[in-house]
Amino acid sequence: MTDKKRIMLIDNEEALCRMMEAVLLDNGYAVKAFTRSFEAAEAFRPGDWDLVVSDIKMPGMDGLEVLQKLKQKDPGIPVIMITAYATVEMSIQALRRGAYDMLTKPFEPEELLYRIKNALKHTQLLEENRELREELVGKFRFDNIIGASEGLKEILTKVEKIAIRDTSVLITGESGTGKELIAQAIHYNSLRKEKKFIAINCGALPESLLESELFGYKKGAFTGAKENRQGLLEAADGGTLFLDEVGNLPMNVQKTLLRFLQEQEFHRLGDTTPTRVDVRILSATNSELKNAVKSGAFREDLYYRLNVVNIHLPPLRERRADIPLLAAHFITLQNKKFGTRVRGLAPDALDAFIQFDWPGNIRQLRNVVEASMALESGEYLSQPVIAQFIDLPAAETLGESGGEEGDYVLALARFETDYLKGLLRKHQGNIEAAARDAGTNMATIYRKIKKYAIRKEDYS
């Protein structure tokens, strides 16, 4: 597979066609020349070419017809049109039909190369932007928020409904439960997804800096303000601003933020002219804001402006069925990042993970998986390795529950059922992919499906 850019040349003037071919070959391009426009249009296949250079005046099928046919096959292909009779009308017609550029005869080889480089660079930037957008949307699609518990399903249903409604959302939950990930999911599934998502941790900045960071300032507003500066609220215009740990906002900032939520405008520090922007505010807290309202530390009117819709994320200890799915996900990520081949958790390590309360929630689970994989030398993360990072329960409670063995077996069956349904849902019923993700073989997956009578409608 060559890395050379592939260029199709179309010109009925054979001498010019061969000259362009020689110039482009000398400069490292892969080139194929056509002197018959019909043959070129017939030979063109989407994905085979990076650029087309075509004359306009040709017998039979002229260049504008060729352009139209190529664009029907591949709308993204850049086409440079060559003409000896450049008129405004012809140029407009060519550009309307999708031509990238016009080149007038006669031209020097350097001019041809310059136009071609520009066209290829422009196309590359468009492709990179498209891939980035797809990557972002894919990264924050709902089915990439890992879990199969009923509680999480209810949250994602709620998120899906409110994402398209341009309203303020307050996300609550303990530290490490994934509040920012939910905020990103709301943004990237909303009408604002093409615009910026900007996050700020309100507890990470001193009070003296927080106001200028959010709202910006005017030159001379304070000592050291040597130029006008845009704040994060203005930088997020058209998009979403996520205020993490919003309960840490000082009173002066709360007042300015409330005015923005009411009027969609604010004043930069030192500025008498209001600045208007269109920004959706999402916020999060791991504290009980109602108590802060009662104590007077947080404005009641701002609280209700931010808390139009509330999403509460349960701690990981309340959604234990999701722990194996999350662990498998983080193992997969680490394998991809470092080229390792850890297949999953050993059975006793899985039991320990499920029984551990995870006070640091998903963030702690991810860190433990990453640290364990750095030390593990076997195919599975073992209990002795993970014991270096979490406190394991007493030996008699690990794997069996003494006289409550029946309850344990029932709980394990319920967990395995939820785990399998989540895996199959994640991989759209693909048994091979589910087995690979779980670090097991297809026969085991089939056996478990039969054992627990899992039906297609349970995971589709």
What are the structural domain ranges in the chain? 6-135, 142-314, 318-458
CA atoms within 13 A on the CB side of 83: 19
6-135 and 142-314, same CATH topology: yes
Q: What one-character-per-residue DSSP string does 358-427 give?
A: -TTHHHHHHHHHHHHHHH--SSEE-HHHHTTTSPPPPGGGSS--GGGHHHHHHHHHHHHHHHHHHHHHHT
Task: Report whether CATH 3.40.50.720 matches the domain 6-135.
Answer: no
pLDDT of residue 197: 94
| Residues 318, 415, 334: CA angle, nearest 5 degrees | 80
CATH architecture of 142-314: 3-Layer(aba) Sandwich (3.40)
Structure tokens, 66: 């060729």
pLDDT of residue 221: 66
**What is the spatial distance between Cα 225 and Cα 218, in angstroms, rounded to a whole number?**
7
pLDDT of residue 146: 77
**What is the spatial distance between Cα 92 and Cα 61, in angstroms, rounded to a whole number?**
19
pLDDT of residue 141: 53
Torsional class of 74: left (φ above 0), alpha (ψ -120 to 50), beta (otherwise): beta
In this prediction the pTM is: 0.59
pLDDT of residue 8: 95
Residues 6+ away with beta carbon under 8 Å from 255: 299
Pick one of 3.40.50.920, 1.10.8.60, 3.90.470.20, 3.40.50.1450 as the CATH number of 318-458: 1.10.8.60
pLDDT of residue 41: 92
Q: Which residue, chain included where needed, has tokens 């019909």?
A: 38
Q: What one-character-per-residue DSSP string does 338-351 give?
A: HT----EE-HHHHH
Distance of CA 75 to the CA centre of its chain: 25
Tens digit of pLDDT per residue, the chain (460 long)?
357 899 999 999 888 899 999 999 999 999 999 999 999 999 999 889 999 999 988 888 888 999 999 988 888 899 999 988 766 677 777 877 888 888 888 888 899 999 899 888 877 776 765 655 555 444 455 555 777 777 888 888 899 899 998 999 999 999 999 999 899 999 988 999 889 999 999 988 887 788 888 998 888 767 677 788 888 999 999 999 999 999 999 999 999 999 999 999 998 888 888 999 999 999 999 988 999 999 999 999 999 999 999 999 999 998 888 888 889 889 988 999 999 999 889 888 888 898 899 999 999 999 999 999 999 988 999 999 999 999 876 544 444 444 444 455 566 677 778 888 888 888 888 888 888 777 777 777 877 887 777 888 877 7
